[in-house]
Homo-oligomer: A and B are copies of this chain.
C-alpha cells in the first residue's frame, strides 16, 4: 500500500488531464513555440505580478540543477542545507549540470538555513584556492516539511545580496508552502529576494511538469542552451506546458495543496496525541515526520503500511499527504497505529 509513501505515487488531477487531452487535438509548433507555452509565460507573469521567464522541464532534479547552472560559475559555491534535496537526493546532478560547482552543506534546525550561519559561511571571495561564493539555495516547503517565513527569506536574500550571491528556491512543494503561509507567490519569491524558482507541479496534481522560473530575465539569457544540452528541451513541449497552465489556473494548485496540507495536519495531530510517537519536525506542509519505536514500525508493516526505509536511519519516518488523500484514509492510518500501540501495551 503506497498511500502516504510519497506525493509522487499519485496521478494527475482531472483538470490537468483535460488540458493535456485538449492540447492533443491537432498539430502544434514544437520546442515551446506553441500556444500553451506562450500562454504559460503570461499566466505565470500574472500570478507572480511581474514579467517572468518560464522554462518547463521534466524533473525536479533537472529543474534544480539547471537553475543552479544558470546562477553559478563552474568554480562556484552553492550554500544549501545539508538535508536539501540538491545535496542528498539528486545523485550529483547539480555537480554535473553546473560543470563542477561545489555544494556547501549547512546545518540548521528543522532543515532550514539559519541566516547568521549563512553570513558566517560565506567566505573566500577572491581567494583563488577556494570555490567562489555564488548561490544560496533554499527549499520551500523544505525537506522536513517546514516552511521559511517570508521574513526569513528576506533575511537570507539580504545576506546573499550583500555578498553578491544569487538566490535559488527549490519549490518542489511550492504550492504547499504558499497554502501554509497564506502569502502571495510574489511575496514568497522575488519580493523576498529570490532570483530563480524551481517550480514543481508533479507532486501536486500533474503527470510530469516542472518549470524553472526566472524573476530577472537577464539571468535567463543562456538558459535555453543549458536546458537543451541537458536533454530537457522536449519537442512536444505543449504537453508539459498545458499541464502547468491548467495547474496554475483557477486556483487548482492552491486547492490541491490545501487538501494535502489539511490531511497532513490531521495526521500530525492525530499522531502527536498518541503515546510512543514523537514528531520529528513541526508539520507545516503536507509531510509528517515522526520518530516511531521499532514495535510500531513492525506493526505497521505487518498491516502492509509502507514505511520509508531511507528515512529510518538516524532520521525519521515520513508520511506524505497529497491532493488525493481523504479523511477516511488518515483515520484508517491513525486507527492502525492505535491498534499497534494497544496491542503492544496489552
Contacts and interface: CB of A to CB of B under 8 A. Distances in A.
Contacts of A2: 27-29
B130 A88 contact: yes
B9 A233 contact: no
Q: Is the interface of A mostly helix, strand, loop or mixed?
A: loop
Q: How large is the interface on A (under 10, 10 to 19, 20 to 34, 35 or more residues)?
A: 35 or more
Interface stretch (A95-103, A163-171, A291-299, A332-340): A95-103
A89 B129 contact: yes
Contact of A207 (B20, B131, B228, B229): B20
A57 B24 contact: no
Contacts of A59: 58, 231-235
Interface stretch (A139-147, A218-226, A251-259, A263-271): A218-226
Copies per complex of this chain: 4
A243 to B, nearest CB: 10
B128 A228 contact: yes
Contacts of A11: 23-28, 236
A30 B9 CA distance: 6
A101 B93 contact: no
Interface of A: 2-3, 5-6, 8-12, 17, 20-21, 23-31, 57-63, 65-66, 73-75, 88-93, 95-97, 99-103, 105, 123, 127-132, 202-203, 207-208, 222, 224-226, 228-236, 239-240, 310, 313, 324
